[in-house]
Copies of this chain bind each other. A is one copy, B any other.
Amino acid sequence: MTLPTIGFVGVGRMGFNMALRLHDCKYPITAVYDIDSETAQKLAEQTGATACSDLKSVTRLADIVFTVVTDDAAMRHIFYNEADNLLMEAEGKTFINCATLSPSIHEDLQNACHDAGAQSLEACMASSIPQARQGTLYLMVGGTQIVFTAIKELLECLSQSLRFVGPAGSASQVKALVNMVMNINTAALAEGLGLGQAMGLDLKMLREVFAQTGANSRVLETDAEDMVTREHDCYFSSEHAAKDTGIALTLADQAGIKLPLAKATFEQYEKLKSLGLGQLDKSAVAELTFPGRAGSSKD
């Protein structure tokens, strides 16, 4: 059986590593595109793909196109920009959209793909770069079962935990909720450790007690040490934390639900951005809660 050819649009660290993983799995990577043409060129060299200078060439050169872009605006641009977009001559093609976006985008896109004779699937990732590289992403899929079944084998190369969630948009909804709760728990942990430091407690002891009690959480495992040592190399940026929490707040507004903790968390990550720290990992929220650190002294 011939494997389908694969294109990538948006090759930030996630997209780059997903492409390398699919390359390892022998899928022919045939076309890559990024607004940063150097990055696209680098990935093209490592995979034997063509670095495309326009979007419609990606669709032409690949059977299945992964999109891993930054936000709603970028997503609209690559699919709807009049001069050049992925839906030009897209008949028979499949788009797998991996960015965390407002859920309604996926619904609209499914319709637009249908009109172009193409098909689409949302594949939301709740993991980070090492998992992308190793093919152990946690992938939540939204769309139609038919499309899902058709490309399941491909997705299994990227994911050990593949979960069909529901119609187009629902995976983004779940992803927004996962990230919202994760970001709140992260900001909460930063408050607990920051106050512990302010009171002169042994933070190693405090982390152990947290781990053994009702304060335990996944982010305690992933972020606590980084908060203490101020190691904020980026796995999931504070900018993304602000964006995703903002998506959840918009959904809550639409549903008439008040989320005061999500709001407080959004404001913390916006504050980090305003301090020029938005590129740091989400653990950097501790810079706002530990005594004596830059963010804690400013209002």
Chain A interfacial positions (CB closer than 8 Å to B): 126-127, 138, 140, 161, 163, 165-166, 170, 173-174, 177-182, 184-185, 187-189, 191-192, 194-196, 198-199, 201-202, 205-206, 209-210, 212-219, 222, 248, 251-252, 255-265, 267-268, 288-289, 291, 296
Contacts and interface: CB of A to CB of B under 8 A. Distances in A.
B257 A264 contact: no
Nearest to A193: B177
22 contacts: A138-B213, A140-B209, A163-B205, A166-B202, A178-B209, A178-B210, A178-B215, A184-B184, A184-B261, A185-B215, A185-B217, A191-B252, A198-B251, A198-B252, A217-B217, A256-B291, A257-B291, A258-B289, A260-B267, A260-B268, A261-B264, A264-B264
For the residues of A in contact with B, the DSSP-based class is helix
Contacts of A179: 214-215
B219 A258 contact: no
A296 B177 CA distance: 18
B218 A222 contact: no
Contacts of A177: 192, 195-196, 201, 206, 210, 215
Nearest to A196: B177
Contacts of A217: 181, 185, 216-218
Contacts of A218: 213-217
B191 A173 contact: no
A208 to B, nearest CB: 8
Contacts of A199: 173, 251, 255
A145 to B, nearest CB: 15
Contacts of A296: 257-258
A257 B214 contact: no
Given A173-B196, A178-B192, 5 more contacts: A170-B201, A185-B185, A185-B217, A188-B262, A258-B296
Nearest to A263: B264
A181 B192 contact: yes
